[in-house]
Amino acid sequence: MKAVIQRVSKASVTIEGKQVASIKNGLLILLGIINEDAQEDINWLANKIVNIRIFNDDSGVMNTSLLDVKGDAIVVSQFTLQASTKKGNRPSYIKAAKPDIAIPLYERFVKQLEKDLGKTIQTGQFGANMQVELINDGPVTIIIDTKNKE
């Protein structure tokens, strides 16, 4: 499981002209899933995301977490995070999990994040063509891959 997390002052997701998600202070989380991902990846990644200290404290130092600042989150599925660009100029998405595997894992990830954060998480729509808008605060962008925990 791979996530790109962006600290945002605001973010939204629009599908076919209708806004389906919107937050102020928090994280926009782009999530890519592979076939080998499992509950262990979900638990580890959700815990890492709510506890990673990338929000400023009173001294202006990145020393507080999403949990500490009581921030919000939007999770957007993004299979292109699993692209391979080793050969040629056309990315290969062969590693990305197909919907029958990815959708249940995506939904379980959102539920685990809600449990760990203690609040409802907004989402895009799996497989939809989405327009994602954000103001990246900092900018702060972190890539986390559950296959590279060490």
Catalytic residues: 78-80
Q: Six-digit token pair at 59?
A: 């001294």
**Residue type, position 77, single letter:** S
Which 3 state secondary structure label does DSSP give 30? strand
How far apart, in Å, are the Cα atoms of 64 and each of 36, 113, 117, 125? 32, 17, 14, 29
Q: Six-digit token pair at 142?
A: 């972190």
Residue pointed to by tokens 């959102």:
110
